[in-house]
Each structure stands twice: as structure tokens, then as C-alpha cells.
């Protein structure tokens, strides 16, 4: 008769490699997590990294990575070495190294950073100030895609 291949005998297709993160390579996972459903009003300071999935109203001063998740909301000033925004932020952002505004981000802020990346789909209303480590303006991103012209 006819033999059916068992699904368990057929090897799965090779997994596609996960895209590498732009600015966070080599950074440790956050030591502090403000989870979804948590609301913090006041000042948050620390030497390590923080991940925000809840709501924060006030100043955040972190020496590591500050990651505002998609469910996170921050109203106030954020200061960190590295900054990733996927959620909603209103205020002033200051990254000593790099700031990354991902496609799901809604940012109404003034951004100061050595390097800034804004993904397609991100809502941004504000100003960007890019300053090099020696006080000079530097180019931190080189476009690798070929721009498409709108069809007429």
C-alpha cells in the first residue's frame, strides 16, 4: 500500500537566524523590571539596567540600558547610557551612547545622544541632537537599502 511520511520523521526546515540587535550587543539583561500593571511616580536611579513595561512618571537616571517595552509608558526625563524605546515616551531623552526608537514607539521628546536610530513605523515628534564623543557631530548610521521612489 501507500506509505505516509510521518511528520516526526521529516526534519523541520532550518530556522532563520534571529536578527541581531543594533545597539544592545554585549549589554547584560536588566536587573530591575517594572512590569506591566505597575505604576511608579517619582525618581528612579541606579547603576544597572532597567526594563519598563508599566508606567513611570518622573525622572529616570540609569547608568546601563533603559528599555521601554511596548506596554511601557514614561512621562518625564530619561537618562541612560543606552536607550531602547518600543512604547510611549513624553519628555526628554538623554543617552550617553545610543538611542534606538523602534517601530512600535510613540515618542514626543527632545533626544540627546551620540547615535540615534529610528525604525520605520515609529511616531516621533520632537528634536534630535546628535553629539559625538569628542564634541563634534558624527554620522552614526549608513543607509544600506536602496530608496524606492513613489510610483506615479
Query: Residues 32-59: what's their mean pLDDT?
Result: 92
> From CA 114, how far away is CA 72, in angstroms rounded?
24
Beta carbons within 10 angstroms of residue 135's beta carbon: 6
Q: How far is the C-alpha of 62 from the C-alpha of 80, rounded, in Å?
A: 5
> What's the whole-model pTM score?
0.69
- Domain count within the chain: 1
Could you tell me if residue 92 is inside a domain? yes
Answer whether residue 89 is part of any domain: yes
In a domain, 101, yes or no: yes
Note whether residue 18 is domain-resident.
no
Planar angle of CA 57, 130, 25, nearest 5 degrees: 75
CA angle 140, 75, 29 (to 5 degrees): 55
Whether residue 144 is contained in a domain is answered as no
147 in a structural domain: no
Which structural domain, as residue segments, surrounds residue 126?
A: 32-130
pLDDT computed for residue 37 by the predictor: 92
Q: Is residue 38 part of a domain?
A: yes
Residue 6: inside a domain, yes or no? no
The whole-number pLDDT of residue 5 equals: 53
**Would you state the cell numbers that stand for residue 106, as one nine-digit string?**
510613540
| Least confident window among 18-32, 56-70, 109-123 | 18-32
Query: What is the tens place of the pLDDT at every residue in 50-77?
Result: 999 999 999 999 999 999 999 999 999 9
pLDDT at position 9 over 70:
no
* Of the candidates 33, 41, 112, the residue with the CA atom closest to the CA atom of residue 79: 112
Amino acid at each position: 500500500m501507500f506509505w505516509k511520511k510521518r511528520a516526526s520523521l521529516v526534519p523541520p526546515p532550518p530556522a532563520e537566524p534571529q536578527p541581531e540587535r543594533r545597539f544592545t550587543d554585549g549589554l547584560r539583561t536588566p536587573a530591575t523590571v517594572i512590569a506591566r500593571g505597575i505604576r511608579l511616580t517619582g525618581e528612579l536611579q541606579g547603576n544597572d539596567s532597567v526594563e519598563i513595561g508599566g508606567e513611570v512618571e518622573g525622572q529616570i537616571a540609569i547608568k546601563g540600558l533603559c528599555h521601554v517595552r511596548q506596554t511601557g509608558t514614561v512621562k518625564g526625563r530619561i537618562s541612560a547610557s543606552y536607550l531602547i524605546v518600543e512604547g510611549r515616551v513624553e519628555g526628554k531623552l538623554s543617552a550617553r551612547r545610543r538611542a534606538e526608537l523602534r517601530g512600535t514607539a510613540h515618542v514626543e521628546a527632545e533626544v540627546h545622544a551620540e547615535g540615534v536610530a529610528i525604525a520605520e513605523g515609529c511616531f516621533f515628534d520632537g528634536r534630535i541632537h546628535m553629539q559625538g564623543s569628542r564634541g563634534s557631530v558624527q554620522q552614526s548610521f549608513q543607509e544600506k537599502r536602496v530608496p524606492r521612489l513613489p510610483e506615479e
